Structure 1
Amino acid sequence: MRFSLTSQTSTDGVTEQSFTLGEITGVLFAPQGATGPRPLILMGHGGGQHKKAPGVLAGAHRFAAEGGFAVAAIDAPNHGDRPKDEQFIQFVDDMRARMAAGEDPTGLVAAMHDLLAGQAVADWQAVLTAVQELDHVGAGPVGYWGVSMGCGLGMPLLAADSRIRAAVLGLLGVHGLAAPAARVTVPVQFLLQWDDTRVPRAQALALFDALGSTDKTLHANPGDHGGIPAFEIDNALRFFARHLGCSSPGTLDVLRPAPWIRPPPCSSRRAGRGPFPAGAFEPDCSAWRAGADAGDRARRGARRGGGRERATPAISVHMEAGPARRRPRPRRAR
């Protein structure tokens, strides 16, 4: 298949290059003026979306601008600018009719993902090979970000391709994914919406449990399927910078405030800000930040002592709502 860059634009310090690889349509994001190799993040969109869906676009811009990463997003088979085959169209129509009749969507969604997964894995592997031949990407470390259908198609990709070193997944249940999940051994950050009306909580927890990785973290937030808090992109930036490295000096210092500075709580931010739609409220994330900093200190200590970073899964549950509470600010030693 021939790889072709078809157009290029730059916005807010990020360059977007649209490309085709055979019938695969995609876009590559990188810091404006980027030269030399850098870590790459693959971003998979949700069902019925496309490579420039708002969540993907906003996340890709932050990964490129703030972390110095290259980011590749493609249209999944039968999505976006790609041709739709009759089998898929008929399957979606039948699935919608059965869901409207009250049938449990869990098995139907899993069947759709299974229909697309084989082609999607081959597409991602071909795109990864082609993109890494570009001078401003190179054959550096690779991560994957995908929730909902992006998780359903990303899980078999992670099981099949050892070039991917870390992943952010979630918003999906275990149905049909137990086997590939068991073969995923890279570090994983898993997102779960506690009040998800599309994915039963027990199914999502079972998928997290099925992951073969010993370095996995569960982030549970209140709200429905599309209500992931905006601060989870901050967390993803920190996660990828830690596991892939980063091309922007000081990225981790920017994301990790000094211990005597209390960052503003998420509940004080303007509603709707960030890549994801706002839920009924955004929880106070100061406890999450403190926990993340403590985890980073523990990992540094483990590395100095020659020990393992983490042998058991970590679970973070963010359920605090309402206005931010004022707490005394620690004083610096003079």
Structure 2
Amino acid sequence: MTTSLQFISTATTNGVLEREFILGDVHGMLWSPVAVDQAPLVLLGHGGGRDSKAAPMVGRARMLTAAGFHAVSIDAPGHGDRPRTALDERETVAMQHAMEIGEPVGPIVVPYNLHLAERAVPEWQATLDALEQLPGIKGPFGYFGLNMGTAIGIPLVATDPRITAAVFGVFWYDETLAEHARRITVPVEFALQWDDQHIPRQSAMALFDAFASPQKSLHANAGAHKEVPRFEVDSMVRFFTRHLL
């Protein structure tokens, strides 16, 4: 894909420079602290059904910029305004149907998210290639992503040595994903929901166990699948402050 990044809108809010960009057919958002000349960059992977401008992405990005980081998020394939393939449509319908009738969604979500990762990892790398050329952005780089953001983020971090710290969580164990995790040795923080109605805790714990990182921590919180506490974002910011600043 092309590496020519173009900004299509710019705004400044409460000391944060917010820039929307396109890179080929990929849309994304870049948040930067106005008062900082040089800062590390954190990549934010969104969850399924969301996009780079979703409220959780904006909130996390603003917390990171307040701590002195740049933050970037891009729309995953088939998300936001990006066109959906026939497979995207079919898998989305199947997932929604399984949830409606109470069947396990893991057998649908896991292979589909891994398929999205195959498409998204090169896009993330091209985005990082382009952003490295901008003034004010310097390494090291971090990655944060839960749910689908974990399915995409694990193979990305395993592949790209520029990413030196990562936060994952709320996803199933899968042997293909575990093979990527076994190649990751950078510091890792991993969140799981103890009462997740979709992901058995043993499955999530097995994925955490697969990481080869000598520095890794498991954050287990009570609550259902979508009830990850907001204070885990505070923990994410502290984690990147330790390892990137």
Give the unaligned 5+ runs of structure 2.
none
Aligned to 1:30: 32
Aligned to 1:226: 226
Rg larger in structure: 1
Q: CA deviation at 1:186?
A: 0.6
Q: 1:62 is paired with a residue of what secondary structure?
A: helix
Compute the TM-score of the two structures, normalised by the length of structure 2: 0.95
Partners in 1 of 2:64 and 2:102 — Cα distance? 39
Compute the TM-score of the two structures, normalised by the length of structure 1: 0.70
Structure 2 residue 21 is the aligned partner of structure 1 residue 19:
yes
Mapping of residues 5-154 of structure 1, within 5 Å: 5-35=7-37, 37-65=38-66, 67-138=67-138, 140-154=139-153
Q: CA deviation at 1:101?
A: 4.3
Partners in 2 of 1:98 and 1:31 — Cα distance? 42
The number of residue pairs the alignment matches comes to 242
Instruction: Tell me which moved more, 195-204 or 84-93.
Output: 84-93
Percent of residue pairs bearing the same amino acid type: 44
Structure number with the higher strand fraction is 2
Q: CA deviation at 1:177?
A: 1.4
Partners in 2 of 1:225 and 1:92 — Cα distance? 18
Paired amino acid for 1:38: A
Q: CA deviation at 1:99?
A: 4.3
Change (3 A) 1:229 1:97: closer
Q: CA deviation at 1:129?
A: 0.7
| CA RMSD, Structure 1 to Structure 2 (Å) | 1.3
Partners in 2 of 1:59 and 1:84 — Cα distance? 26
Aligned to 1:281: none
Give the unaligned 5+ runs of structure 1.
246-334
Aligned to 1:188: 188
Instruction: Tell me which moved more, 153-162 or 104-113.
Output: 104-113
Paired amino acid for 2:76: A
Moved over 6 A (4+): none
Q: 1:73 is paired with a residue of what secondary structure?
A: strand
Paired amino acid for 1:145: F
Partners in 1 of 2:217 and 2:40 — Cα distance? 22
Aligned to 1:3: 5
C-alpha deviations, 1:157-187, integer Å up to 9, x for none?
A: 0111111000011011112411111111110
